[in-house]
Structure 1
Amino acid sequence: MLKSLLSVGGFTLLSRFSGFLRDMVLGAVLGAGFAADAFVVAQRLPNHFRAIFGEGAFNSAYVPSYSRVVQYEGVAGARIFSGQIFSGLLASQILLLALAWAFTPAFIDLLAPGFRADPEKFQLTVTLTRITFPYLLFITLVTLQSGTLNAHGYFAAAAFAPVLMNLSMMVFLGLAFLFPNAGSAASWGLTVSGLLQLALTSAAASRAGILEKIARPALTANVRQFLSTLGPAVIGSAGTQIALFADTIISSMLPTGGPSSIYYADRIYQLPLGVIGIAAGTVLLPEMSKLLAAGKPNAALKAQTRTMALSLALAAPFFVAFIMIPDSIMRGVFLRGAFTAEAADASAAVLAAYGFGLVAFVLVRSAVASFQAHGDTKTPMMIALTAVAINVALKIVLFTPLGAVGLASATAVGAWINLVLLAFLAIRRGAMKPDLLLWKTATAVTTASAALAAFALFAALPIERLVRGLGRFADASELVILGLAGAAVYGVVLFIGLRIFGVKLRR
């Protein structure tokens, strides 16, 4: 399982690195003005629906259901099952696309009501949303095929697929002179990438002999069981998206550049969240599902705690960096072209607020697997809705005094509430069992994090002075030096701590 986790993490890291390049191009071309705000909302609408009906909800219901069908009916029966689900998804997504195209202005009024005050921004957002929405259809089908591949232990294609999105958008941005504006070019790049990703996962599933066998949707026992778990999963996933919808709605009322500052901070924040948290959840859920189906509950619990220990060790240095040097990060990555120093400062404040919730967000995916691997999607749903209710209430309270920073702070608080409630109930039910390895790892990680924070506190200013004479390369050089030196400090202290406690995470 560790090999699979590192494989997914490696490909996801490649995806995030290419995503960095994509966002650097976006920042340089679009900056943080009204065109960037329009694109942020245009790509966020299909991505909200993708997260509700696709990745989050679908995988949590589909992977355990598919694993059970493979266990009892073999690959042939599983191909028919996946084909029935594929047909149903395709029909539902075509209907949703038609509705989105017909009522795009109403969707924008709902999602970004503040844009109505600027007719040019509103109309551009409507146009870009109509371009980006077909991406949802393609990526939802990609999610199904990714779940099928993951259930059979094939992780590479699904983990690599997002790289195609980043490459596609960069190519289209490079051809922006052929489009009305750069936002239009980026939107077309996003939609075309969905088709490319679908081609990739289809080819991978075909080579593995597990490509779905297209079948007419039918309410078989397997499909009914899948739907019974999908409903609560959709509600639970929608709960998280409600908080993100609230971010978009409220941020649209900020001055121009507000939605963009949240977007750019979120892109940095998503690096460890995607590489570590999502990779861990992607590998852990099918692993626990298979072990439980095989009657090995203790092995499933050990797999979970080891995954959480490794996730914690990998996420902690990002947490320290986001809290201690957010300005250096945003300036080093984005400060060029149309992306100004003022935009970097605004995004840095949002990144620091997001950072307080990073560890919780990373561990939530592993904690949710405690319930999903047992086919229980209702409990995570109720917990998610509780956390979201508190999250949204805090957003409303903090928006006026803190602006975009208040929205990010509320998101961080909601993540911790979600994790604490999940862990509490899972431990009570015996679905999670933190062992000595986890506690030893947490102690070593805390010590290494303290050392890293001290290094960042005392080294940031001398390094800034050192690179000051490098001109336009100063910010990027400062970030690289801080990052490499900080990684060395954290790695050495963590290695020593793990050796003292006798912890070997590779086993």
Structure 2
Amino acid sequence: MASGTAVSRLLGFLRAMALAAAVGATGQAADAFSVANKLPNVLYMLLAGGVLNAILVPQVVRAYKRNAGQEYVDRLLSFGFALLAGLSLVLTLAAPLLVRVYADPASDAQITLATTFAYWCVPQLFFYGAYALLGQVLNARQSFGPYMWAPVVNNVVSIVGFGAFIAVFGGGVTAAADWDAGRIALLAGTATAGVVAQALVLVPFLRRAGVSYRWRWGLRGSGLSRAGTVATWTFIGLAIGQLGYVVVSRVASAAPGAADEAQAHIAGNAAYDYAFTLFMLPHSLVTVSLATALFTRLSAQAHDVDTAGVRSTLSSGLRVVGLFTIIAAAGLVVLAQPVTRLVLPSQPQGSVDAVAGVVVAMAVGLPAFGAWSMCQRVYYAYEDARAMVPIQVAMAVVVAGGALLSQAVLPSSAWVAGAGVSMSVSYVLGAVAAMVSLRRRLGDVDARAVVRTHARATLAGLAAAAVGVGALLLMERWGPDGLPGAVLQCVAVGGAMGLTYLGGLRLMRVRELDLLLGPLLRRLRGRRGSDRPV
């Protein structure tokens, strides 16, 4: 799973590079496309993604333990496809209103361009939802690989399409008024085609996993009422979270227009997206992969009333995820500039600086974000999304309040970074509150072992960060500049930090390191063994 995610994220960086070369990382066109292409992702997460994650795996795991399991899954999928189709149609027609909700730019031309992009991009919602529906059914059947590898197809289609855009129209057209129908259709059409391919590629894997889907309509007697209750509370929680994000999006879209004319490169929605892509890389590689695999186990343990099993699975997940996210956060903070330069090789230094500042603000919250994500899976395994709502309210208040406070007291160049800090604070709040809540449900969350592992990993991470800062300063002084320098800095400084971190963990005898590296080491040993002569 992690290998599929790694390839996908690597291609995602190439996709981001191609997109930046086409429309830039700051400016009217980049921010307009960012808002439009973000809408289906936000809507999917709000209306489908979280709801599907909350109900599908537990429901499918339970269904296949019953004799009528496949019929139940058929009805669930049929209802999901119909709901997605209706929502996609309604929300596509509502594109102008959605753009106004999430954007607050000073330019009418930018609003018009974002709205036109949105008409192309919002239909992605149906295919994102179909990808989630089919992928979660595969996950529940213990077939994890296709779901993690499918985004590779999306990225390949996007890279080819964005490359074609650059070949036909060139890059660097940042003014919204300069975009014509051909440019809009090729750029936005490519983005949507990639999502379509991502969903359709999962279809052949269903039969391999033993899922023979057929359309079945009708919910009466299907037992979906419990799933509907879970979905309702999940939707409420996600909607509350999105209110906080709406504030962040509007603050980000207003930042460039509030800047002085002398400030050409101000972080806006596009800069936020690039920073969030970097932030999500380590989370996707380990946290999402591990949490997805453990979710099936948690759902089965919750169904069997195996409280000790849930407690053990949560504890091991939190400790292993923490080991990775702590060093990943340290690496992103230290290497924010060179990593951003790798993603935006064609962009001026001002754009790189703008994105790198947001990366640092987000990265400090990465360990807490991983812990919060693991805790969410426990709530979903128990089909108790309602218990998360108070926590999500508090997190949304912190995000919205922090973004508005940044807008009130900071220069416009720092508004998006301030919003990133507020997000990091909200993750800390969410993780701590969830652990306290789950302790009441489970009797214990093995907090002592979790805190001990995180404390040791933090000490090793701080040592690694100190080594990284020193090595980076030396390389900036004596090494090459530009893209070659960024590559060398990431490899050399990142390598030094990784070795320091591993050495620190070994010195402190952190046994969870074996849980994190064990699968990789076993695979490498097996590969070497297979190469030996018989």
Do the aligned residues in 2 keep the contact of 1:277 with 1:361 (CA within 8 Å)?
Answer: no
Q: Is the 8 A contact 2:362 2:423 kept in 1?
A: yes
Change in 2 beyond 3 A, CA 1:366/1:268? same
Number of corresponding residues: 491
Q: Which amino acid aligns with 2:56?
A: Y
Matching residue's letter, 1:222: G
Cα distance between partner residues in 2 of 1:98 and 1:455: 53
1:3 aligns to what? Answer: none
Partner of 1:26: 19
The SS at the match of 2:509 is helix
**Is the 1:371–1:431 contact (alpha carbons within 8 Å) kept by the matching residues of 2?**
no
1:218 CA drift (Å) = 1.2
* CA 1:431–1:16: 2 relative to 1, 3 Å: farther
3-state SS, counterpart of residue 255 of structure 1:
helix
Q: How far 1:96 moved relative to its partner?
A: 2.1
What is the DSSP-based 3-state SS (H/G/I as helix, E as strand, rest coil) of the residue aligned with 2:353? helix
* Aligned partner letter, 1:203: P
Residue 489 (1) aligns with residue 497 (2): no
Residue equivalent to 1:377: 385
The DSSP-based 3-state class of the residue aligned with 2:201 is helix
Aligned pair in 2 of structure 1 residues 324, 178: CA closer, same or farther (>3 Å)? closer
Q: Report the Cα offset of residue 419 of structure 1.
A: 1.0
Aligned position for 1:206: 207
Matched, 1:17 2:29: no
| 2:89 aligned to which of 94, 98, 103 | 98
Deviation at 1:113, TM superposition (A): 2.7
- Hey, what's the Cα distance between the residues in 2 that align with 1:498 and 1:165? 41
On the 8 A contact 1:36/1:183 being kept in 2, the answer is no
Matched, 1:449 2:461: yes
- Compute the displacement of 1:70 (Å): 1.6
Instruction: Flag the 1:93–1:186 CA change in 2: closer, same or farther, 3 A.
Output: same
TM-score by length of 2: 0.87
1:108 maps to which residue?
99
Q: Secondary structure at the match of 2:256?
A: coil
Correspondent of 2:41 among 20, 44, 47: 47
Give the alignment partner of residue 491 of structure 2, picking from 465, 474, 480: 480
- Say whether the 8 Å CA contact 1:440–1:498 is kept in structure 2: no
Q: CA deviation at 1:439?
A: 4.2
Q: Per-residue deviation at 1:389?
A: 2.0
The answer for unaligned runs of 5 or more in structure 2 is 170-180, 258-265, 520-534
Match of 2:119 in 1: 130
Secondary structure at 1:254 match in 2: helix
Q: Give me the whole-angstrom Cα distance separating, in 2, the residues matched to 1:90 and 1:503.
A: 42
1:82 Cα offset (Å): 2.2
Q: Which residue matches 1:240?
A: 241
Q: Does the CA-based 8 Å contact 2:323-2:513 persist in structure 1?
A: no
- Which amino acid is the alignment partner of residue 19 of structure 2? L
The Cα shift of 1:55 comes to: 2.3
Amino acid at match of 1:457: V
Question: Which residue is equivalent to 2:358?
Answer: 350
Q: Which residue of 2 aligns with 1:222?
A: 223
8 A contact 2:468–2:494 mirrored in 1:
no
Greater Cα shift, 215-224 or 139-148: 215-224
Q: Letter of the aligned partner of 2:503 in structure 1? A: V
Match of 1:190 in 2: 191
Q: Displacement, 1:431?
A: 6.2
How far apart, in 2, do the equivalents of 1:139 and 1:333 lie? 25
- Residue 420 of structure 1 aligns to a residue in which SS? helix
Letter in 1 for 2:29: A
In the alignment, the residues of structure 2 paired with residue 471 and residue 328 of structure 1 have an alpha-carbon distance, to the nearest angstrom, of: 9
Answering whether residue 436 of structure 2 is matched by residue 421 of structure 1, we say no
- How far apart are residue 56 of structure 1 and its match? 1.8
Alignment partners' CA distance in 2, 1:184 and 1:434: 53
The Cα offsets for residues 33-78 of structure 1, whole Å up to 9 and x where unpaired, read as 211111100111111011112222211122112211222x14xx23
The residue type paired with residue 161 of structure 1 is: A
Q: 2:30 aligned with 1:36, yes or no? A: yes
Taking only aligned residues, the RMSD between alpha carbons, in angstroms, comes to: 2.1
Identity %: 21
Moved more, 141-150 or 287-296: 287-296
Structure 2 CA distance, aligned partners of 1:350 and 1:471? 20
CA distance in 2, matches of 1:421, 1:102: 39
> How far is 1:22 from its partner?
0.8
Q: Quote the offset at 1:197 in angstroms.
A: 1.9
Aligned to 1:403: 415
* 1:458 equivalent in structure 2: 470
CA distance in structure 2 between the aligned counterparts of 1:422 and 1:255, rounded to whole angstroms: 36
Q: Which residue of 2 aligns with 1:287?
A: 297
Unaligned runs of 5+ in 1: 1-7
- CA pair 304-183 structure 1, distance change in 2 beyond 3 A: farther
* Conserved? CA contact 1:128–1:187, under 8 Å: yes
Q: 5 Å matches for 1:293-304?
A: 293-304=303-314
CA distance in 1, matches of 2:496, 2:93: 53
Q: Give the AA of the match of 1:10.
A: S
Deviates most, 123-132 or 292-301? 292-301
1:360 equivalent in structure 2: 368
- Which of residues 103, 117, 121 is equivalent to 2:110? 121
**Partners of 1:388 and 1:463 in 2: how far apart?**
40
Which amino acid is the alignment partner of residue 18 of structure 2?
V
Alpha-carbon distance in 1 for matches of 2:53, 2:88: 21
Letter in 2 for 1:38: A
Shift of 1:213: 2.7
For residues 184-239 of structure 1, the C-alpha deviation after alignment (integer angstroms, 9 at most, x for no partner) is 43422221122212222221112212143311031335211111111001111222
